[in-house]
Structure 1
């Protein structure tokens, strides 16, 4: 069983690190790390820290692709990731490629790469958030702190919240449903997800079955009635032909949904509605909502 770092232990470690650190001391999910005052060679091991770094004006030297099936960076950042080295995929970063880049800071999350933390820390100072997705707002601030731009990260978050409330205030009479199609799996997204928190920030109402403080419901075709809302947004992870999308959209129950019959079942980009989990992705979602919820 791994030891739990109590607040007292973290404070003691932080104090000790501060005495020897020539940069800045960051307390994170896996301990205390001395990072450069101004990191220059940053490697990111998930879409969230990639989104965060670019939002804060820092172009990483290396990043991971989305999955073994799609070893590319999220498409909404394509124009801003030219020249960034690919160092594997989220599920399996390539440590040799990371080492060869000589980074001075690595950003990730415990839930993704906690087991790799010792190896990554030997390559470069490594800062990890506890989780990803629904925690994206606090993740933004921690990664922003590690990058030396916490104040800028807070400003971006404040601006997002103002924008979200402005959009949501115009749409109090609608309910918003969100569904994600994956290979052999269909998810109805709940509140404790990235997209759930974005909708919550906007104050948008969810269908009764989706007002649940967990990640998602995993359903078969019989669960299609739970997908209904005034508006139904759906995404597909990768090629829709490899997911459950075609099966669901052709099912007789899909045609009975109020949103479908009213022409308000709308396909949206999985990369920023689901995968991106960062401030840039969240703002892109708001843009979609502003154009659609009329």
Structure 2
């Protein structure tokens, strides 16, 4: 098993007192329970009552928004190795760049996309990764995958890997994204290469990587387990009672994450409702000056992610303004910053991490 790090810089505690000032969807439920003694409220039954009796407060915030996931334990992000479907010879894999004969149960894998790396982790094969394209940020790979993966040798940045560095590692399989098609001829000259696209959704993309790794059966099982976890999470937090707005700030605009986004798809699997304006595809909002634009980002709870430092700078400048503070979710203290690499990611490992965030935040509110 990999050596992992466990961050514990956020302090949380359960509370059954001082409910939010108002919640549009939760309002009637809170009004009915606010007058009950704390002990009686905590002793209620399952489902919604459990969710109500474990409201989480956080002491860490950015521009007034609580931060979710700082205490994430990544030691078990990647499970034990899964079993291959075949143990010898080659298998034929059809993918975004054509058809490839790849080795059964590959032993030396180079990974060129975060979605592929997430898949290798989810299938328990991260220790077979001999090289990986890196991402910008404080770590070479998204931190939710754990410190072991961050120490894998780099082969250039995601989107622009160096074929010479890939060749030096003598892989027997290369996994990449459909966007790497321009390098396909160079890559397949080094080792069998599989490029997987996301046009059919992140679960189909994960299944494609599972096939390339000779783990179709394990990939199906991983998705089944994820779907069960999503339903269980939704039931545990009474997901259908809240409408969650999901926003990603880039340096110049606000990207409203619709039902076709990774976060939107995972929230739907958990049964979380979305505001009416966010039930279609993702779209951009230039600012908050117009009431119509503010209405598009309103929700019972707002989740925020930042596209790098410039995205965070843009977010903070808007979040300190009166237009942002006029949003009911903000005045209710129900705005939470989440990790961009998870909520704007792809893969089973990211999806499970998002569900963990959901458990800790959907019924939460921020305190100073």
**TM-score with structure 2 setting the length:** 0.69
Q: Partner of 2:342: helix, strand, or coil? A: helix
Counterpart CA distance in 2 for 1:88 and 1:70 is 16
* Correspondence for 2:249: 181
Instruction: Please identify the structure whose Cα radius of gyration is greater.
Output: 2
- Distance in 2 between the 1:118 and 1:175 partners? 46
Structure 1: 5+ residue stretches without partners: 1-20
Q: What is the correspondence of 1:144-155 to structure 2 with a 5 Å cutoff?
A: 144-155=210-221
Is the CA contact (8 Å cut-off) linking 1:225 and 1:254 kept in structure 2? no
Tell me, in whole angstroms, the C-alpha distance in 2 between the residues paired with 1:113 and 1:281: 22
Shift in Å, 1:140: 1.1
Q: 1:221 aligns with which of 281, 284, 288?
A: 288
Please state if 1:289 is matched with 2:351. Answer: no
In the superposition, relative to structure 1, how do residues 99 and 218 fare at CA in structure 2: closer, same or farther (>3 Å)?
A: farther
Q: 1:26 aligns with which of 89, 93, 97?
A: 93
Q: Which moved more, 1:257-266 or 1:240-249?
A: 240-249
Deviations 1:245-266 (A, max 9, x none): 1122112111011110111001
- State the Cα RMSD in Å: 2.0
For residues 81-120 of structure 1, the aligned pairs below 5 Å read: 81-110=149-178, 112-120=179-187
Contact 2:250–2:311 (Cα < 8 Å) also in 1: no
Mapped partners of 1:272, 1:263: distance in 2: 23
CA contact (8 A) 1:28 1:128 kept: yes
Q: Structure 2 residue aligned with 1:263, among 304, 309, 333?
A: 333
Rounded to whole Å, the distance in 2 between the matches of 1:224 and 1:120 is 47
Match of 2:348 among 267, 279, 286: 279
Tell me the number of residue pairs that the alignment of Structure 1 and Structure 2 aligns: 269
Whether the aligned pair in 1 keeps the contact of 2:143 and 2:150 (CA below 8 Å) is no
Structure 1 Cα separation of the partners of residues 196 and 307 of structure 2: 24
Q: Which residue of 1 aligns with 2:147?
A: 79
CA distance in 1, matches of 2:339, 2:285: 20
Match of 1:51 among 91, 109, 118: 118
Q: Does residue 233 in structure 1 map to residue 300 in structure 2? A: no
Match of 1:42 in 2: 109
Q: Does structure 1 retain, via aligned residues, the 8 Å contact 2:134–2:141?
A: yes
| Residues in 1 aligned to 2:295 and 2:138: alpha-carbon distance in whole angstroms | 31
Write the distance in 2 (CA, Å) between the matches of 1:34 and 1:141.
Answer: 17
The structure 1 segments of at least 4 consecutive aligned residues displaced by more than 6 Å after TM superposition are none
Q: Partners in 2 of 1:65 and 1:40 — Cα distance?
A: 21
Instruction: With a CA cutoff of 8 Å and minimum separation of 6, indicate the structure with the bigger relative contact order.
Output: 2
Where does the alignment leave 5 or more consecutive residues of structure 2 unmatched? 1-87, 364-368
- What's 1:128 paired with? 195
Counterpart of 1:87 in 2: which secondary structure?
A: strand
Superposition TM-score, scaled by structure 1 size? 0.86
Deviations 1:184-240 (A, max 9, x none): 33211111111111111112111111100x233343233343211111010112236
Aligned to 1:16: none
Distance, in Å, in 2 between the alignment partners of 1:86 and 1:65 is 6
In 2, the alpha carbon distance for the partners of 1:183 and 1:86 equals 27
Match of 1:63 among 122, 127, 132: 132
Distance in structure 1 (CA, Å) of the matches to 2:311 and 2:302: 20
Higher helix share: 1
